[in-house]
Structure formats: structure tokens, C-alpha cells
């Protein structure tokens, strides 16, 4: 592998893809239930793998695309693509960003109106948001790179 082949955008996108992959194992949502006065609250959390139905698989695919693009470019084995790699990473990053924003705004589950039960956002959700934005930014920089795609 020749890391000198990588431009800054591919490094950002690949690192952000790795961060997105790691975020799926971190807690995304937490539930807290208070059973009454004088009793401690019961808490639990769910990772991206636990809480997301199909979005976790889509985010995994985006992460793999970002990591593979950087690794294949560094190895000089990037296949012929229908569009420049930077544009593909930009699209994948925006797609991931929309999915994570959706999960940020629409909390899973329903408390059923039970008093004392709250669902909250955890660190993994915010890490995924930063990682998805990083893939899009890396794709933008790779697309604006002065080097042609064949040279990557």
C-alpha cells in the first residue's frame, strides 16, 4: 500500500467510514424509568445494531464503501467506477447523513404515556452524525482533487 496515493479527501472519507462502523457498536439510545419517589431510576441503552431495523445495514454498507475506497486507492487497485470516487463518496455520505438525521429526530419506541419513562439520545448517534458528515466532506474534497481519478 502506498499511502502517498491518497489525497486528503480519501483519508477523511476512509477514517470517517471507520468511525461510522465503530459508532454502530456504541449506545445510540437510552431508556430511563423512575419507579417512584425514593427508588433509583432503572436505565438501559441500545447500540445502533440493537436499535435500528434496516438502517444499520445501510450505514454498514456506506462505511464499507468509504473504507474500501481509501484502501483500494492506497493499494492502486481502485476499479473502474461509473463516476469519480469523490462523487460516489459524497453521495454515500449524504445518504448516511440523512439516515442518521432521521434517527436523531425520530426516536424509536413509544413510552406509551407511562409517567417517569424517558427515551434519550446517546453518544453513538452523535458519533455517527459526525462520521457521516466526514464521509460527505471527504467525498467533496476527493471530487475537487486536482489529481485525476486514474492517478488515485
Which residue ranges of the chain lie beneath pLDDT 50? Answer: 148-152
Residue 3 inside a domain? The answer is: no
User: How many domains does one find in the chain?
Assistant: 1
Q: What's residue 68's pLDDT? A: 92
Residue 47 inside a domain? The answer is: yes
Q: What's residue 122's pLDDT? A: 94
Q: Do residues 145 and 86 touch, judged by C-beta distance below 8 A?
A: yes
Residue 1 inside a domain? The answer is: no
Q: Do residues 141 and 8 touch, judged by C-beta distance below 8 A?
A: yes
User: Which domain range does residue 104 map to?
Assistant: 13-145
Residue 130 inside a domain? The answer is: yes
First to last CA, the chain: 12
Predicted structure pTM score: 0.85
Residue 138 inside a domain? The answer is: yes
101 CB contacts (<8 Å, ≥6 apart)? 129
Residue 8 inside a domain? The answer is: no
Q: What's residue 113's pLDDT? A: 65
Q: What's residue 106's pLDDT? A: 87
| CA dihedral sign of residues 65, 66, 71, 74 | positive
Residue 102 inside a domain? The answer is: yes
Amino acid at each position: 500500500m502506498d499511502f502517498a496515493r491518497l489525497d486528503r479527501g480519501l483519508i477523511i472519507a476512509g477514517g470517517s467510514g471507520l468511525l461510522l462502523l465503530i459508532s454502530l457498536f456504541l449506545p445510540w439510545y437510552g431508556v430511563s424509568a423512575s419507579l417512584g419517589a425514593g427508588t433509583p431510576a432503572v436505565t438501559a441503552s441500545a447500540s445502533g445494531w440493537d436499535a435500528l431495523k434496516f438502517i444499520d445495514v445501510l450505514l454498514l454498507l456506506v462505511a464499507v464503501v468509504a473504507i474500501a475506497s481509501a484502501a483500494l486507492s492506497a493499494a492502486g487497485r481502485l476499479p473502474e467506477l461509473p463516476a469519480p470516487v469523490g462523487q460516489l463518496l459524497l453521495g454515500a455520505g449524504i445518504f448516511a447523513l440523512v439516515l442518521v438525521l432521521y434517527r436523531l429526530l425520530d426516536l424509536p419506541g413509544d413510552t406509551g404515556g407511562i409517567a417517569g419513562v424517558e427515551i434519550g439520545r446517546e453518544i453513538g448517534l452523535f458519533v455517527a452524525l459526525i462520521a457521516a458528515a466526514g464521509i460527505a466532506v471527504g467525498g467533496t474534497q476527493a471530487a475537487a482533487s486536482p489529481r485525476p481519478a486514474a492517478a488515485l
